[in-house]
């Protein structure tokens, strides 16, 4: 699953650069914000996570109103907290966001399965790190495979169905 999620994130970043090729071409009166970047990244990621709800910049009231940039989950439960993303647009930011992902979102009671640090600061310029539940950090770069949207969705859905069937069988 780690490699599949890694491939999905890389593919989403590549799709962002392709579908928003003029994203960094603003007039002197307009500037790109982190919120704008997260909105477009969320759109690309959501093409792969069709069965999950997506949220951008949602406030977590019971957690000092901390606000992850993007989350993929099922609403009204922590059971299906799947992916939490911190996105930046400055090549110097990094370590603080990785710590936030691990310490705020990937621990009880939220227990997000994956954390993702994405930093995009120019056309084709990015750094991305996938964080797994055990705290491992997996770099995402040009060596990562591109993943087709339908292929990824079917693979993840198959895994979810198998897990649900196993849980149901164990309850019987």
Q: Which tokens go with 137?
A: 């950090």
pLDDT in tens, the chain (172 residues): 999 999 999 999 999 999 999 999 989 998 889 999 999 999 999 999 999 999 999 988 788 888 999 999 999 999 999 999 999 998 886 889 999 999 999 999 999 999 999 999 999 999 999 999 999 999 999 999 888 776 666 666 666 555 654 544 455 4
How many domains is the chain built from?
Answer: 1
C-alpha to C-alpha distance for 52 and 118, rounded to whole angstroms: 20
Q: What is the model's pLDDT at position 168?
A: 42
Query: Whole domain around residue 17: which residue ranges?
Result: 2-171
C-alpha to C-alpha distances, 167 to 15, 130, 160, 164, nearest whole angstrom: 35, 27, 11, 5
CB atoms within 10 A of CB 149: 16
C-alpha to C-alpha distance for 38 and 70, rounded to whole angstroms: 7
**91 three-class SS:** coil
Q: What is the model's pLDDT at position 60?
A: 81
- Secondary structure letter of residue 97 according to DSSP: H
> The dihedral of CA 108, 112, 115, 121: what is its sign?
negative
**45 three-class SS:** helix
C-alpha to C-alpha distance for 85 and 132, rounded to whole angstroms: 12
The sheet with strand 70-73 has its strands ordered as 53-56, 70-73, 83-88, 114-122, 125-131, 137-140
The enclosing domain of 21 has a CATH number of 3.90.1570
Q: What is the model's pLDDT at position 151?
A: 62
Q: Which tokens go with 54?
A: 């997506």
């Amino acid at each position: 699953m780690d490699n599949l999620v890694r491939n999905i994130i890389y593919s989403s970043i590549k799709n962002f650069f392709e579908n928003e090729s003029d994203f960094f071409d603003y007039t002197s009166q307009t500037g790109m914000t982190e919120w704008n970047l997260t909105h477009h990244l969320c759109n690309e990621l959501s093409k792969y996570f069709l069965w999950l709800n997506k949220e951008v910049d949602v406030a977590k009231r019971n957690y000092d109103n901390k606000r992850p940039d993007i989350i993929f989950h099922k609403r009204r439960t922590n059971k299906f907290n799947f992916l939490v993303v911190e996105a930046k647009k400055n090549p110097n930011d990094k370590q603080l966001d990785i710590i936030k992902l691990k310490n705020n979102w990937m621990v009880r009671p939220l227990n997000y399965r994956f954390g993702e640090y994405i930093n995009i600061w120019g056309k084709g310029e990015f750094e991305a790190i996938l964080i797994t539940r055990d705290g491992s950090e997996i770099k995402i770069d040009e060596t990562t495979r591109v993943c087709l949207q339908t292929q990824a969705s079917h693979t993840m859905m198959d895994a979810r169905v198998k897990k649900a069937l196993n849980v149901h069988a164990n309850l019987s």
